[in-house]
Amino acid sequence: MNTPTILLGAFDRHNFGDLLFPHLAAALLPGSRLIFAGLAERDLRPFGGHRTHALARLAAEFGNAPVRLIHVGGEILTCEAWHAALMLQPADAVPTLVARLDAHPAERLAWARNTLGLTSLAPYVAGRRLFPRAQLLHVGVGGVDLAHSPPALHAEVIEALGEADAVGVRERQTLAHLHAAGIAAHLIPDPAVLTAERFGPTIAAHAARGEVAAVGQRFPGGYLAVQLSADFGDDATLDTLAAQLTQAALACACGIVLFRAGSAPWHDDPDCLQRLARRLPGARVQVFQSLQLWDICALIAGSRGYCGSSLHGRIVATAFARPRLNVRPPQAGEPGKVQAYTDTWEAPELPTSAPVDAVAEQLHQALAADPASLRSMAGELAKRYRRMFAAHLPPCNRR
């Protein structure tokens, strides 16, 4: 009998990294009977993603079966039910829901539980309450702010991780917290380090046609692939960024292509990119319209370098041995998941992130990185992920 393998993650909404994860896990599980699970029934196939099945329904169907359930990546350990449910709503419905419920914790939790059909406070973390006979695995997940999460959510997550058969996290900050809590976690890179190795031909095919090919024709001298979340949308920040990006583009004689890495609520805002584009020299800028997963990968892979706020924009650039620089939001507080990840895996001599007023200088340094060193790092991270993934997947024999 081919025991089902449930791949669980936030790939029920449009976010670059989350759309990638199930492809990467599936590529390492040839011949497996795979079920793609999120918190809602969604079809992201038009964007290069998957059709997902709701976790609540899968728990009812497979809860007493000896399935394998793999949490395949993402900052899932701190994703609260309220936020998870909101990100699955139409973007225009979110402001009304927030205005009505955000100040009322009990009501918003009740709404989230009813929406998701789950009682979990951290619904992307499945424990034995839902799947008592499953082999439960976490491979490359994150939870940078877990130590500061609400106590009830923290306790639920620690309990679920303590019940898991294997736990692999993607950066040292989460690893240290889990070790302090008594969880025998291991360190593994983010799954997206495999993007070039596993999907290079698919991405090359997308690079040769459509909007990606048109970008290459418009900027024969190359371009910077630039992405920004909605956190950068105030006028003063956009003014500063425009000046910095113009300086960087002139220095490397290339264009600037602005793209979105996610269209789910609280991700990237198209209006923010349009307003930035209007501040840049018209001959040097283009707003990339496609939200198709492989188009975005091809845009990054074909660039002179990536610059933006997305962790997975950076990691895909790493996989293709491209220079990369993250931009810190103007109101950034404690170091977040990008810094935690780069502190763990990035070469110490490379710039990792910059405030908006230092982007040009730091991009210049990033673009000067030795190509051979970037290729070597890409290969080593992919090799490590493959090795650790295999180590986390013993035969599924739970009864």
Task: Read off the pLDDT of residues 130-179 as tens digits, 9 standing for 90 and up.
Answer: 999 999 999 999 999 999 999 999 999 999 999 999 999 999 999 999 99
Spatial distance between the Cα atoms of 381 and 320, rounded to a whole number of angstroms: 11
Spatial distance between the Cα atoms of 127 and 130, rounded to a whole number of angstroms: 6
Q: Which residue has the tokens 């393998």?
A: 5
pTM exceeds 0.85, yes or no: yes
pLDDT value for 394: 63
pLDDT value for 298: 98
Strand-pair partners of 346: none
pLDDT value for 92: 87
Spatial distance between the Cα atoms of 140 and 182, rounded to a whole number of angstroms: 18
Q: What is the CA angle 149-327-262, rounded to 5? A: 70
Residues 6+ apart with CB under 8 A from 107: 101
Q: What is the CA radius of gyration of the chain?
A: 21
8 Å CB contact between 84 and 151: no
Q: Which residues of the chain have pLDDT under 50?
A: 397-399
Terminal CA-to-CA distance of the chain, rounded, Å? 14
Strand-pair partners of 6: 35, 69
Spatial distance between the Cα atoms of 277 and 257, rounded to a whole number of angstroms: 9
Residue 68 token pair: 């394998």
pLDDT value for 397: 47
Dump pLDDT digits (tens) for 321-358: 999 999 998 876 666 899 999 999 999 889 999 999 99
pLDDT value for 380: 98
Residues 6+ apart with CB under 8 A from 335: 144, 343
In the chain, % helix, strand, coil (3-state, to 5) comes to 50, 15, 35
pLDDT value for 3: 84
Residue 120 token pair: 């979990």
8 Å CB contact between 304 and 224: yes
pLDDT value for 147: 94
Q: Which amino acid is at 341?
A: Y
